[in-house]
Amino acid sequence: MILRKKMLGILMLLGLVLLAACQSKDAVKDTEKQETSTINIMETGEIPGVNPTTADNSVSFKAINQVYEGLYRLDKEGKPALAMAAAEPEEKDGGKTLIFKIQEDAEWSNGTPVTAADFEYAWKKVVDPKSAAAYGPQMEEIVKNATQILKGDMDPDQLGVKALDDKTLQVELENPVPIFKDLLTTGTFFPQNQAYIESQGDRYALSSENLISNGPFKLENWDGTKKTWDYVKNNKYWDKKNVKANKIHVQVVKDTNQALNLYTTDKLDRIELDGEFVSKYKDDPDFNKTFTGRSVYLKMNQGKDGQKTDLANVNIRRALAMAIDKQSMVDRLLANGSAVLNGNVPAKIMFDPKTKEDFREQNGDLLSYNPTEAKKYWESGLKEIGKSNLTIALTAGDSSLQKQQTEFMQDQLQKNLPGLTVNIKTVTQKASFVADISQDYEMLLGGWGGDYSDPLTYLNLFLTDSPGNHTGFSNTEYDKLILGAKGSLSNDPEKRWDALLKAEQILLKDNATLVPLYQGGRAYLQKAALQDYIAYPIGSENYKWMSKENK
């Protein structure tokens, strides 16, 4: 009897061990299932480039944000969190000098350590006038000597950044800046490995074969022109334990019908919708809608190198800016949560530091739809340039939505401004970016999603001679206000805010530099299995925590 009880006990124990082993195996399988599933997402245009120094568009910065990482990375809620920086910096000189410690185990994907020298090299490269970096001015009036270096009055080696040793970085600021931590999450401030870049020469970052990564993913299967590419988990990444996806496959899809076909056949896990598709799928359990901080507008080329265009006439520009029924565009073509925007800085994101009032509400409507007034400005402008009619080319990307938008605007402008002919010039998204930065356009459909939650991220683009300007706009008072907001006014939040309000009025109300159209919304279908696809209202998308569980 005792023996029988012992045997029974042993069998029960073996059963528990086997059960635990099976459960353990099942748990491992579940983890593997989650971490090995390939995630399939879409992009609306090819990647123009992945060099953090020369990047100048949202598609490039989105890719850069997955394969590189700076001192900080935005967390899931969009707040700056420690990344390459191991701890918050030691502050000296009242916050004008910051000492950062770099993560001890941070490595590049080729196994070399990420060092303080990588940051020093990258930042000095960004402000070097020879680089012509579009976002070098982000350091202007912020990092010590950046303004003089960008003007060519100082050597890049005099920038206020220095590697004190392999893992200690010293940063000197002109003034303590409230947005500096946010800036450090953006591609302009990411590190680069000098030895690797010099070994690649002119080939650097032109394909995934000529690129190394210090971020959550490595870029693979990209040759600089392909319409597909992969983000593959970077096993050298310091925080790889929190990167769930082993592979994210991206394909360029420019037509919404095609995107839907891919989604319904499980070849895409998330797609964006617009127009009629929004109402068709709004009751689908996979449907979601949100707003973004993307400001969409038409840029108008006033001329460059001393050569003025017809669009240098402020009345012509003001007429164009007031002749488009933006509400109809938002309601009929988009229907995705986008809202009419009569300024450059979007709504619901940035607020007065004292009153907490929304920037957009405070500054009001600066250029609204008014066809009667538009016609008056148009007639005055034509008289001033000595013409009775005008033909303007409108350049835009080749997605189905952009084609619909340009056709709508063509009809509106020609209907409301007698004597105007608008010729649509459809190009690839990549070619549209090139036309923008080379200022090889007359009017161009563009926009900006912002890098950080401050009006400066939108207004900084239009400083005189800024590599991000590309319009021919130049205004001394505007420059003074923006540079003050970056520097001398940093310690007076209310005066700084007032300067930004005034600057936007100069940009649009006084000079009609842009044709503001709408603040972008986002309507999309997303599979329930896809988790932690982080798309902020402001800032590049962040795939670090993304995961998908197999069926």
Domain identity same for 189 and 311: no
Q: Do 487 and 534 fall into the same domain?
A: no
What confidence score (pLDDT) does residue 551 get? 62
- Beta bridge mates, 493: none
pLDDT over threshold 50, residue 30:
no
Q: What is the pLDDT of residue 148?
A: 94
Is residue 9 assigned to a domain? Answer: no
- From CA 334, how far away is CA 408, in angstroms rounded? 12
The backbone torsions φ and ψ at residue 340, rounded to the nearest 5 degrees and listed phi first, read -55, 135
Residues 178, 302 within the same domain: no
Q: Quick one: pLDDT at residue 497? A: 96
> What is residue 17's predicted lDDT score, i.e. its pLDDT?
40
Least confident of 30-34, 110-114, 196-200, 469-473: 30-34
Is the pLDDT score of 165 beyond 90? yes
Q: Distance between the two ends of the chain, CA-based, in angstroms? A: 49
Which residue reads 């900084």 in tokens?
460
Same domain, 469 and 434: yes
Segment of 376-390, 439-453, 465-479 carrying the highest mean pLDDT:
376-390
In the structure, what pLDDT confidence band is assigned to residue 356 with cuts at 50, 70 and 90? very high
- Is the predicted pLDDT of residue 9 greater than 70, yes or no? no
User: pLDDT tens digit string along 94-149?
Assistant: 999 999 999 999 999 999 999 999 999 999 999 999 998 888 888 989 999 999 99
Look up residue 190 and give its amino acid: F
* 270 within domain boundaries: no
- Residue 441 belongs to what domain range? 291-522
Same domain, 419 and 309: yes
CA 85 – CA 104 distance, rounded (Å): 9
The length of the chain, given as a count of residues: 551
Reported as a pLDDT band with limits 50, 70 and 90, residue 25 is very low
Is residue 74 very low, low, confident or very high in pLDDT (cuts 50, 70, 90)? very high
pLDDT of residue 437: 85
Cβ distance 517 to 324 under 8 Å?
yes
Give CA separation, 18 vs 6, 23, 28, 31, 61, in Å: 18, 9, 15, 20, 50
Q: Are residue 445 and residue 386 in the same domain, yes or no? A: yes
- Closest to 529 (Cα-Cα) out of 543, 550, 514: 550
Give residue for tokens 């590599």: 467
Q: Which two tokens stand for residue 334?
A: 């988009």
Residue 181 and residue 65 share a domain: yes
Q: Are residues 473 and 539 in the same domain?
A: no
Q: Could you tell me the CATH number of the domain that includes residue 484?
A: 3.10.105.10
Q: Please give the helix or strand (H or E) that residue 519 lies within, else none.
A: strand 514-526
Q: Is residue 116 part of a domain?
A: yes
Do residues 417 and 372 touch, judged by C-beta distance below 8 A? no
Whether the pLDDT of residue 391 is over 70: the answer is yes
Residue type, 193: N
Residue 51, pLDDT score:
95
| 541 and 518 belong to one structural domain | no
- Let me know if residue 6 belongs to a domain: no
Averaged pLDDT for residues 432-442: 91
For residues 314-331, give the mean pLDDT.
Answer: 97
Task: Check whether residue 215 and residue 303 sit in a common domain.
Answer: no
Q: Which residues of 155-171 are buried (b: 16+ CB within 10 A; e: fewer)?
A: ebeebbbbbeeebebbb
Contact predicate 343/296, CB 8 Å:
no
Average pLDDT, the chain: 91
User: Is the confidence at residue 287, as pLDDT, over 60?
Assistant: yes
How far, in Å, CA of 176 to CA of 172, rounded? 9
Do β-strands 390-396 and 420-426 pair in parallel, antiparallel, or remain unpaired? Answer: parallel
For position 240, which CATH number holds?
3.90.76.10
Tally of domains within the chain: 2
Q: Specify whether the CB–CB gap between 218 and 109 falls below 8 A.
A: yes
Looking at residue 368, its amino acid is: S
CA distance 417 to 38: 51
Are 429 and 318 members of one domain?
yes
| 286 in any annotated domain | no
Q: Rounded to an integer, what is the distance from CA 472 to the centroid of its chain? A: 23
Confidence of residue 469 (pLDDT cuts 50, 70, 90): confident
Q: Residue 162 and residue 124: Cα distance in Å, rounded?
A: 10
Name the nearest CA neighbour of 541 among 532, 551, 550, 530: 532
282 part of a folded domain: no
Q: Please state, in angstroms and as integers, the Cα–Cα distance from residue 158 to each residue in 67, 116, 122, 419, following that order.
A: 29, 16, 14, 54
DSSP 131: G
Give domain status of residue 458, yes or no.
yes
Half-sphere exposure of 116 (CA within 13 A, CB side): 17
Amino acid at 337: G
* CA angle, 347 then 485 then 439, to 5°: 75
| 301 vs 321: CA distance, rounded Å | 13
Report how far apart, in Å, the C-alpha atoms of 154 and of each of 119, 124, 144, 145, 406 are: 19, 12, 11, 8, 44
For the chain, percent of residues with pLDDT exceeding 70: 93
* Residue indicated by tokens 């185990």: 105
% pLDDT > 90, the chain: 78
CA gap 85, 51 in Å, rounded? 21
Q: Which amino acid is at 544?
A: K
- Report the pLDDT value the prediction gives residue 6, as an integer from 0 to 100: 44
Sign of the alpha-carbon torsion through 180, 181, 185, 191:
positive
Phi, psi values for residue 100, rounded to 5°: -105, 140
Q: How many Å apart are CA 551 and CA 549, to the nearest integer?
A: 6
**2 part of a folded domain:** no
What pLDDT, on a 0 to 100 scale, did the predictor assign at position 451? 85
Kindly state whether residues 518 and 417 are assigned to the same domain.
Answer: yes
